[in-house]
Chains A and B, each alone.
Chain A
Amino acid sequence: MDSRVVSKAQLPELLDKLARDYILVAPVHEEETVTLFKKVSGANEVQLDYTNSDVSPKGCLFPQTEKTISYTYTGDTLDMKEAAEPPKTALFGVRPCDIKSILALDPVFEGKFLDSYYLDKRKNTVIIGLSCSKVLSTCFCTAFNSGPCDGSGADLMFTELGDKYYVEVNTDKGSSLVEAYSQFFGKQDTEQLAKAKEEQAKKLEGQFTRKVDLEGVKQVLDENFELPYWDKVFKKCLGCGICTFVCPTCHCFDIFDYVTGEVSGDRFRCWDSCMFPDFTLMAGGHNPRPSKKERVRNRFMHKLKYHLDRYNLEGCVGCGRCISKCPVNIDITQIIKDLKEVGQNA
């Protein structure tokens, strides 16, 4: 693996250049306390003093609302226009958990029916990761064989070390970017920096307060669909759906039409949530997941079992967002612990 060095002082200039040549999507603050990923016009808008964004960057590849077609139908002629090919995009400042979540989303949108909306953006996006420099009390990425400096899945991985960024060049896409902006990417001291990064990673890994052990949890879920435990967990759930909104691996969507004129309209897909009662409600009135019990069970089964069954990839990346945002403190790490116990007592 190739590696480089970018001086901290030069990062703003690099970001300005990227914003000129690409659509640059990077973390920004909104209303002071909310951090999310947005298109920026230059380095001055980018905020790197965050530990984890409140909303994951998945929207860069799978937007919250996305037009699939525009149509005009006059009664005689029907025309449909599809979305244009997405522009070249640089997604900057992605934390390891969110990089991993993109890898978890890839197989959902690949497969027999290629999802052009996601895959075209994925193809045209270069992912520039940024190692964590702090660990939140809700973080538990280490449970999923990842860590605060794990750059696997990123095209380039930046790690802040003193007055420099150590940059791992992981892919050809990353390598082309380095080449195109070679004036910013030095080659000096990379060996020492690699070591410093390892130490940094070790130090941070020691700071995790949540020790989550998944051993045996999937097996419990494989063997038990009905568990008395599910009769308890859902009781405090409000069904607000925030867990699915902030989750970087949630991919459920709705499709609906929006009329824009007498003969024209747009069709959109937008994020949906399995926590909502009408998510599975059929026109005839039957609902296979009629109560919060089934819906809460489905969400945790999806994260801890179904995604693994289908794609052989973890459906949770340990970002901790659902823990910190849940208004009634439903905590997936507690659920993992409880399920483990259920398994041990079985």
Chain B
Amino acid sequence: MHNPSPLTPYPATVTKIVDETGDVKTFTVEFDDPEVMENFGNKPGQVAQLSVFGEGEATISITSAPTRGKFLEFSVRRVGRLTNVLHQIEVGQKIGVRGPYGNWFPYDKMKGKDLFFIGGGIALAPIRSLIDFALSDQYRKDFGKVEILYGARSYMDLCFKHDLFERWPKCPNTQVYTTLDRPEEGWDGHVGFVPNYVEEVNPSPKNKVAIICGPPIMIKFTLAAMEKLKFNDEQIITTLEMKMKCGIGKCGRCNIGSKYVCVDGPVFNLAQLKQLPPEF
């Protein structure tokens, strides 16, 4: 009896495609064998490898919470070779999925606390799994207030508009703050960069966890803002992106020091990040 092959993907079918922005699409994917989904066991914050046969694989965060249903959602920005190909596929096409890989947001330790999500651009995708998990009927009682602060360059660049403006604001004890980098005709909401908006909203660090994901420059200034607001390093959680091939800690390229982001990450709190060499 030989071991099951860890690099063989499960066959799956794309059942829905949503155009989020000019260069971001969200793919809903269902496994061809329903039993695979039963045993997949993805937790909020984990990633998977998507295959387009003949083209290769890319590591994409699972943007749906396991509480949403028997499917996976992947929000993909068209940015490289494989994602270009992904953007050309149509509903009904078969792709490969393997995973789930990596650690997850430590939601057990967040129980009883308020959650403050901060995202910029496409980077709402990796934390959306935890937002939906915390807002689900099953787990809503485990968490306090849920706040989501999200920004993008323009209205067109906002991902998950349905979630931001329809679904999430209707959830109990939940508040959504949306901002655009620049003023725009027809936009009467907040204008300004995410880090400044965080300071304006002025969240108290008391019994709160901040979950941050965004482009490096946004993270840098947001962390400075969080420090001003007296959040400590254990209260700040983020998720990293690295080039990955195997997803299972063997191919060697996603290391930061002795840690592999694909198995030891992608989720780290700021205290853990500060222990790592600044090579990410």
Contact = CB atoms under 8 A, between A and B. Distances in A.
Interface string B249-277: 11111111110000100000000000001
A306 B259 CA distance: 8
Nearest to A68: B7
Given A225-B277, A257-B54, A280 B251 contact: no
Interface stretch (A157-165, A207-215, A247-255): A247-255
B279 A289 contact: yes
A280 B53 contact: no
Contact of A78 (B3, B6, B94): B94
Given A69-B8, A80-B11, A251 B2 contact: no
Contacts of A82: 5, 8
Given A73-B53, A78-B94, A283-B79, A115 B250 contact: yes
A205 interface: no
Contact of B255 (A69, A73, A306): A306
B57 interface: yes
- Please classify the interface of chain A as helix (H, G, I), strand (E, B), loop, or mixed, using the class held by over half of its residues: mixed
B275 to A, nearest CB: 11
Nearest to A62: B250
B246 interface: yes
Contacts of A256: 56
Interface in B211-244: 216, 241-243
Contacts of A80: 8-9, 11, 96
B11 A113 contact: no
A113 B6 contact: yes
Interface residues of B, number: 48
A71 B9 CA distance: 11
B83 A68 contact: no
Nearest to A289: B279
B80 A284 contact: yes
Contacts of B277: 225
Contact of A284 (B79, B93, B255): B79
A255 B7 contact: yes
Contacts of B9: 80
Nearest to B84: A283
A188 interface: no
A256 B11 CA distance: 18
A80 to B, nearest CB: 6
B46 to A, nearest CB: 13
Nearest to A282: B243
A136 B94 CA distance: 55
Q: Which 6 A-B pairs have the closest CB atoms?
A: A283-B80, A252-B252, A116-B3, A309-B258, A113-B248, A225-B277
22 contacts: A80-B9, A82-B8, A113-B249, A115-B6, A116-B2, A120-B3, A251-B252, A252-B251, A255-B7, A259-B54, A265-B54, A267-B51, A269-B251, A272-B253, A280-B242, A280-B254, A281-B243, A282-B80, A283-B83, A298-B255, A298-B279, A306-B257
